[in-house]
Structure 1
Amino acid sequence: MRKLVIAISMLAFAGSAYADPIKGRQALMKERGKLAGQISKVVKGETPFDAAAVLDALKALQANAEKFDVDTLFPAGSDKGDTTAAPKIWEDMAGFKAAEDKFLADTKAAVASPPADVDALKAQLNTLGGDCGTCHQTYRIKKS
């Protein structure tokens, strides 16, 4: 499981290289969604709780958040094209950065205090999911 998570992380990062900031941020967010989905399956009981596998997924999520450089991924002018990034990002860059910083801090906290059981993981996922939801509500255009 750990090797799979690391391989996915490396491929997503290598494929993004930030030559195109839109594709770079989309690759990182896609990876983030997959990692959150793995954790969610454990919380839902679809995958058995395995403390080591959960910690690996949380570490991969932290690595993903650490790669998410707002200045590189959201330069001026990258609000045009195939993107669901809302104009609010560029209007409130400080707020957007604060939202990403909160996600990173909460991810680091989850890694620092790995969950011992599904209930503890559920609490962590609620926090991380709340971070994602808050950011998406403010800084993402919903596809129709």
Structure 2
Amino acid sequence: MADGGLSIGQVAQRTGLSVHTLRLYEREGLLASEVRRDGSGRRVYSAWDVEWLANCVKFRASGMPLTTISRLAQLVRAGSGNEAERLELLRAHQRHITEQVAQLRDCLDLINVKVASYERHLTAGASGDPWHQQRPPAPQEHRIDGA
């Protein structure tokens, strides 16, 4: 754009968000500043808008709900004086992500054990299924009548 701003299409390319999603984000109050309009009414995004949207992409990728992003944007739009609330929103999400990372580490540990097991199995030229070889024996039925 001639005035140094970016069109909605350019912002879509830079952020990976669709034009539809950008309009939705604006409508739902997820942007931290009001998007300017040119003389023809077309949106003109600033570099700061693009930076904010890049943060939003990461927030969403990490599972942050749109309502939380909206609240954070509202606080940023309101200006200084609410930094403690912003910090608490981010800390709450940080705790959530930390829990997710711990769960993913547990999953990765299991996958690593299984990969190592199959690698050993294939390297040794062993027969049979290593997954079944690790299975505990089936419990035997116990009869109460002594038979």
Which has the greater radius of gyration? Answer: 2
TM-score by length of 2: 0.26
More helix by share: 1
TM-score by length of 1: 0.26
